[in-house]
Amino acid sequence: MTAAILLSEAGHTVTLLERFERPQPLGAGLLIQPTGLRVLQRLGLYDDALKAGARVEGIDGRSDLGHSVLDLRYGDLDRRLHGLGLHRGALFTLLFERLKRAPATLVTGFDVASIRGTNISTADNRKAGPFDLVLICDGAHSRLRGGLAPAHRAPVYAWGCFWATLPDPERRFAALLHQRFRGNRHMAGVLPVGVAPGGDNNDDVTLFWSLRVAEMKAARMRGLDSLKAELLDIWPDLEPLLASLTSFDQFSEATYRDVAMSGFRRDRVLFLGDCAHGMSPQLGMGANLALADAATLAGALARASSLDAALQLFETTRRRTLLVYSFVSRWLTPFYQGDARPVGWLRDLTFGPACAFPPTRRAMLTMLSGTRRDWFATFPIGDDGLPELPLI
Ligand SMILES: Cc1cc2nc3c(=O)[nH]c(=O)nc-3n(C[C@H](O)[C@H](O)[C@H](O)COP(=O)(O)OP(=O)(O)OC[C@H]3O[C@@H](n4cnc5c(N)ncnc54)[C@H](O)[C@@H]3O)c2cc1C
């Protein structure tokens, strides 16, 4: 939607093909990082996002014994920086309402099955195209990537999560992403996410519970009381929150992939967002990177003298940043979700001191905030307190 808005408003004729008949929000709450907020600002949605979401000042991750594992505050990087917990539905609604005001054409119920050149068709032979450029933005579990992408791999992680959105009227979990770990096999997180679209109370939080994908079915069979007992065993403070959890149906399941591509382009087809660089959600970066992809592409098209030059500019601008985030996400995930117990112990021993030591704390904060440009440089913070992203 971000790409469709920005490109159509720049004068391109844009058709957005979406498989769902009725576009609707799906999925867990999101942490929007300062870089994602920059893109929302570029779309004119910053103030509305702040109203809908919950301001997040940093992360407080602890072992089940209460020892600090992650203690990071955006304000230590720049006092004006912060994140925003947002219902996925709220982000969807903001973008969807914005899309309606843009001159792009939205075609729903169009489940793309094949792309030949720039001609697109569904399994029942509905057709669109040819186009000058096709953007493939069909998410981490993309069906289109297989036959079209340059050399790539996209294995599903063995670990996923259950998540549910619950009210937190006493705001016990306000202002921070709270996490509790027992080794790397047990992890729970609570993210304040503000108000659901059409909702009244801006005190919602999303609860995440990590588990092996292969164990999701068995966990459902064991039932809600068993799951609550497991959660309370590592994090007793969850008790008031769990009171509003009355059915297992309140939980949804998420699985993720580790997508790596040798390049983001083949001829006149460009891969954006999770489809190109899906990762585990440990860094809370996927949606932010997808937003930045779209806005960078719009910037490249506005500046370059030809489509080929614009695609080249897009790739060179995004590649180094995406490589860093993909690498760190891949490297970090086993510290949070994995089977090798010593990795969890190593995390508990080393991450706390790394958060306290100024140089490593700064490096961790630049990763968290999305402001790392590559291994050596960071994005500067603008006068308005948001990161300056190239071409955006
Ligand atoms: C549990 C969990 C927590 C997360 N937390 C965070 C977080 O805190 N912060 C963050 O930044 N990111 C987070 N993420 C990652 C984030 O959700 C993704 O990075 C983001 O949604 C990617 O956006 P996208 O537009 O690339 O893909 P998607 O959001 O997956 O959108 C893909 C779109 O393509 C459509 N589509 C798919 N196939 C077809 C087809 N064949 N034809 C037509 N349309 C099709 C779909 O219907 C959908 O509308 C989290 C992910 C998970 C699973």
How confident is the model over 228-262, as pLDDT tens digits? 999 999 999 999 999 999 999 999 999 999 999 99
- What's the pLDDT score for residue 133? 98
- What's the pLDDT score for residue 25? 62
Whole-angstrom Cα Rg for the chain: 21
290 C-alpha to ligand 1 centroid (Å): 9
The mean per-residue pLDDT over the stretch 328-337 comes to: 96
User: Does ligand 1 lie within 6 Å of residue 138's CB atom?
Assistant: yes
Q: Give the single-character DSSP code of 157.
A: P
User: Does ligand 1 lie within 6 Å of residue 139's CB atom?
Assistant: yes
Mutate to test the pocket of ligand 1, among 17, 30, 124, 275 (most ligand atoms within 8 A of CB): 30
Least Cα distance to 31 among 391, 281, 361 occurs for 281
Q: HSE (CB half, 13 Å, CA atoms) of 199?
A: 20
Q: How many CB atoms lie within 10 A of CB 105?
A: 13
246 C-alpha to ligand 1 centroid (Å): 28
Residue nearest to atom 49 of ligand 1 (CA): 18
Backbone angles phi, psi at 314, to 5 degrees: -60, -50
Residue 15 β-bridge partners? 105
- Which is the closest atom of ligand 1 to the Cα of 30? 8
pLDDT in tens, 369-392: 999 999 999 999 999 999 999 999
pTM of the model: 0.97
Confidence of residue 75 (pLDDT cuts 50, 70, 90): very high
Residue nearest to atom 15 of ligand 1 (CA): 286
User: Does ligand 1 lie within 6 Å of residue 141's CB atom?
Assistant: no
137 C-alpha to ligand 1 centroid (Å): 9
Q: HSE (CB half, 13 Å, CA atoms) of 207?
A: 23
The mean per-residue pLDDT over the stretch 256-272 comes to: 96
pLDDT in tens, 82-116: 999 999 999 999 999 999 999 999 999 999 999 99
Q: 2-57+80-156+257-369 architecture in CATH? A: 3-Layer(bba) Sandwich (3.50)
User: Does ligand 1 lie within 6 Å of residue 17's CB atom?
Assistant: yes
pLDDT in tens, 108-159: 999 999 999 999 999 999 999 999 999 999 999 999 999 898 899 999 999 9
- Which is the closest atom of ligand 1 to the Cα of 36? 11
Q: Domain segments of the chain: what residues?
A: 2-57+80-156+257-369, 159-254
pLDDT in tens, 9-31: 999 999 999 999 986 666 679 99
User: Does ligand 1 lie within 6 Å of residue 30's CB atom?
Assistant: yes
287 C-alpha to ligand 1 centroid (Å): 7
- What's the pLDDT score for residue 20? 92
pLDDT over threshold 90, residue 173: yes
274 C-alpha to ligand 1 centroid (Å): 6
278 C-alpha to ligand 1 centroid (Å): 9
